[in-house]
Amino acid sequence: AQTVTQSQPEMSVQEAETVTLSCTYDTSESDYYLFWYKQPPSRQMILVIRQEAYKQQNATENRFSVNFQKAAKSFSLKISDSQLGDAAMYFCAYRAGTASKLTFGTGTRLQVTL
Amino acid sequence: DTGVSQDPRHKITKRGQNVTFRCDPISEHNRLYWYRQTLGQGPEFLTYFQNEAQLEKSRLLSDRFSAERPKGSFSTLEIQRTEQGDSAMYLCASSLAGQPYGYTFGSGTRLTVV
């Protein structure tokens, strides 16, 4: 079975600084997708960034980028120029290419301080 | 279209009572998913529908849980004879088959069993 591990229950970053959230996963599949979701206090899960396993280039979305290390099964999220609005729970998620369901990690709570 | 809607937002019920939640997906989305999220955990997959067909159910979905999606539009999730362990956030999401990363989540229904 696929598993997703987030080893940092909480992280803190100062406004305008950079923070990296860690995620590792375990799978025997060769075709899969990885995601980072943000869950603010409003509770709605919002897609931050995605990565297709077949792509070697790391995905980037504005201030958000990933470091995808396929051999190491590692998928970290870097948030640059952190803003107060980035404070939320962040979940790493995996989806096998042939599947529909997402498998989530336990989340990292990000605090942004002034 | 205003996204995925879930009703009610909060539900408090006494142990042993039955509860029903509703999810209205994005209108053009033919897939609908239910997840359960307990405190401090990531969402866990419960079940999903493609149109009106329930295609996959997690072992987490005990016989006290039933989900329906009549006519392939909105979906209901019913929990019979609620237990305190059922207290959680119940999240609904929808997507279009063939789009591997087009999930949209609702804001969830928070169930408290007292």
Q: How much is the pLDDT for B99?
A: 79
Shortest distance, CA B105 to any CA of chain A (angstroms): 6
Are A100 and B56 inside 8 Å of each other by CB? yes
3-state secondary structure of B101: coil
User: What average pLDDT is seen over chain A?
Assistant: 95
Q: How much is the pLDDT for A46?
A: 94
A3-22 residue pLDDT tens: 999 999 999 999 999 999 99
Q: How much is the pLDDT for A6?
A: 98
A-to-B residue pairs, Cβ atoms closer than 8 angstroms: 53
3-state secondary structure of A5: strand
Are B93 and A45 inside 8 Å of each other by CB? yes
Q: What are phi and psi of A56, to 5 degrees?
A: -80, -30
Are B33 and A101 inside 8 Å of each other by CB? yes
Are A106 and B93 inside 8 Å of each other by CB? no
A86-104 residue pLDDT tens: 999 999 999 998 788 999 9
Q: Assign residue B84 a region: left if phi > 0, alpha if psi is -120 to 50, beta otherwise? A: alpha
Shortest distance, CA A13 to any CA of chain B (angstroms): 20
A40 touches chain B (CB under 8 A): no
Contact call for residues A66 and A75 (beta carbons, < 8 A) = yes
A73 touches chain B (CB under 8 A): no
- CA distances to A60, B93, B102 from A50, rounded to whole Å, are 9, 17, 10
Average pLDDT over residues A56-72: 96
A32 touches chain B (CB under 8 A): no
Confidence of residue A55 (pLDDT cuts 50, 70, 90): very high
B1-58 residue pLDDT tens: 579 999 999 999 999 999 999 999 999 999 999 999 999 899 999 999 999 999 999 9
